[in-house]
Structures are given as structure tokens and as C-alpha cells.
């Protein structure tokens, strides 16, 4: 949708998605490919890391990150878990192995089964480990899955399952339940618009993103999405800048909203 509109607006550029030579597609892999010269520009769901800036400089490159959208990280559980929300500290304790039964957070007596994409396989996991886990390692109870699709399938089949991902990938799903999150007990903010649509009413009704909470920052886990562009005066810089500038137009921001993300303007 976005690509087709950009192609129509700027026909002098031909957009082509490039699969990574190794590893799973993700922010880190895209930035690495950009530095190594196999991409013209990259998209990232996290800010540039100091190590990436240094690696680019060692190759004579300067990188610029241009914020183009807002996204929230949503936490989903199996519908058997009859709680409405958890705190950020409880979420951390689940993924570091300190909480291993849902009864410890007011839920049923069911063992917790956390799922995650592997470390370093995407900006989402990097943001989670940095902002939620505080740099602590995942607990031995965490099962790593290669894709969000696979994780959601496992979540639906596992009564104690829990998983986190971009809100637009989680909130509208029928087979799982998104959880509200709070910085403090009782002060929960949902990633979806109230009231929660139960699985039995889906797909005729679907949960919708709580855009207001993401834009205001009331929701505890939000992040900017970026286009990362080389600053080398080349056609690559022109193309990356044109791509980002289009996404920041009214038309581009509307397309971002249609794709399930939150406008930054």
C-alpha cells in the first residue's frame, strides 16, 4: 500500500524489498545491510545503537534516523488467563523467570509459558530487553520462536502462554487476548479501545488500537519507527530522504495509519 503510493508519487525511484543474506529480517539486520552497502536505506523499529554509528563511521559513513511513525508494544496471553492487566515489573519478572505461575499475578493456577523472538533478531526484542528487562537475560523458561505468526499459533494452543510484539500485529487477532499494562498496580492502560472484544465475537468484531494512548505516551511501552538514511550526498541519500519525506506528508501519514501504526504528525 505504502510502496505503491510512493511509486506513483515518485516514479523516478523503484522500490525493491531485499531479503537479508543471513539471519531473520529485523532492524539490526537492516541497519547492518545498510552499512555494508547492500541496502539503499533501511527501516527500523528502534533507534540507532552507538555500535552501529561507530561501525558506519569506520566505513566513512554517517547515518541519519528520521522518525516517521509511533508504535506500541502489546502483550498478549491465551484467553484462558482471566486477568485484565499486569504491571511492567510483573512483565519483567515473567520474562526473567521470577514469576512462573499465573496465580502469582491474580490469575488461574496455570504455569506461565513465555514466548519471544530470539535476541538480536529485531528491534522489538532489543527494545523489550533494554526497556523492560533492563538488560537482564531472558529466563530459562522462555521459548524462542522465529516469527510472530508462529508465536501467536503457539499462544492460542498454550493455556499459560504470553507473548509481546508490535501492537498492530497483536491487538486485532482473534485467537489471543491483549493485556492492559501499567507502570504501577491498578493504573492499567489498554493497547486496545475499550471495551475488549472477546474472541467469540471475532472476526465480525475486532479490537482496535488505542491510538490516543500511544500518541499521548500514557501507554507504558511506545517507540518511534524510523527510516535510516546514509548521509553521503549520493542518490542513495536522495532516495532514502524522499521515502521518509513522503511518509511524513499528510498522504504518507494516512497510509501509516491504514497500515496499523500511529501518525507521528
Sequence spans of domains, the chain: 2-70+223-263, 71-216
As separate numbers, helices (DSSP H) first and strands (DSSP E) second, the chain gives: 10, 10
Going residue by residue through the chain (265 aa), what tens digit of pLDDT does each one get? 566 776 776 677 667 766 666 666 788 889 999 999 999 999 998 999 999 999 999 999 999 999 999 999 999 999 999 999 999 999 999 999 999 999 999 999 999 999 999 987 778 998 999 999 999 999 999 999 999 999 999 999 999 999 999 999 999 999 999 999 999 998 999 999 999 998 889 999 999 999 999 999 999 999 999 999 999 989 999 999 999 999 999 999 999 998 888 999 8
Domain pair 2-70+223-263 / 71-216, same fold = yes
Give the number of other CB atoms < 10 A from CB of residue 125: 23
The C-alpha cell that represents 117 in the structure block: 523472538
What CATH homologous superfamily does 71-216 map to?
A: Periplasmic binding protein-like II (3.40.190.10)
- Report the candidate in 131, 139, 142, 135 with the shortest Cα–Cα distance to residue 224: 131
pLDDT score, position 20 = 64
Q: What is the CATH number of domain 2-70+223-263?
A: 3.40.190.10
Spell out the residues 6+ positions from residue 67 whose beta carbon is closer than 8 angstroms to its own: 224, 225, 226, 264
pLDDT score, position 4 = 72
The C-alpha cell that represents 135 in the structure block: 538488560
Amino acid at each position: 500500500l505504502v510502496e505503491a503510493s510512493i511509486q506513483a508519487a515518485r516514479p523516478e525511484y523503484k522500490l525493491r524489498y531485499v531479503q537479508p543474506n543471513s539471519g531473520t529480517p529485523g532492524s539490526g539486520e537492516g541497519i547492518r545491510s545498510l552499512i555494508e552497502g547492500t541496502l539503499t536505506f533501511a527501516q527500523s523499529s528502534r533507534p540507532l545503537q552507538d555500535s552501529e554509528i561507530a561501525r558506519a563511521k569506520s566505513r566513512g559513513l554517517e547515518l541519519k534516523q528520521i522518525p516517521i511513525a509511533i508504535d506500541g508494544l502489546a502483550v498478549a496471553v491465551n484467553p484462558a488467563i482471566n486477568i485484565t492487566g499486569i504491571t511492567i515489573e510483573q512483565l519483567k519478572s515473567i520474562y526473567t523467570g521470577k514469576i512462573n505461575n499465573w496465580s502469582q499475578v491474580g490469575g488461574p493456577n496455570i504455569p506461565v509459558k513465555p514466548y519471544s523472538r530470539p535476541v538480536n533478531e529485531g528491534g522489538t526484542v532489543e527494545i523489550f530487553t533494554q526497556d523492560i528487562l533492563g538488560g537482564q537475560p531472558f529466563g530459562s523458561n522462555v521459548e524462542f520462536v522465529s516469527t510472530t505468526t508462529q508465536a501467536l499459533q503457539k499462544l492460542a494452543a498454550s493455556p499459560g502462554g504470553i507473548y509481546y510484539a508490535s501492537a498492530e500485529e497483536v491487538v486485532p487477532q482473534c485467537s489471543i487476548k491483549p493485556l492492559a499494562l501499567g507502570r504501577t498496580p491498578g493504573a492499567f492502560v489498554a493497547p486496545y479501545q475499550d471495551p475488549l472484544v472477546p474472541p467469540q465475537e471475532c472476526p465480525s468484531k475486532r479490537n482496535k488500537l488505542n491510538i490516543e494512548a500511544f500518541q499521548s505516551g500514557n501507554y507504558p511501552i511506545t517507540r518511534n519507527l524510523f527510516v535510516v538514511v546514509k548521509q553521503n550526498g549520493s542518490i542513495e541519500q536522495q532516495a532514502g530522504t524522499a521515502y521518509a519525506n513522503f511518509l511524513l506528508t499528510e498522504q504518507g501519514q494516512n497510509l501509516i495509519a491504514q497500515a496499523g501504526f500511529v501518525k507521528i504528525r
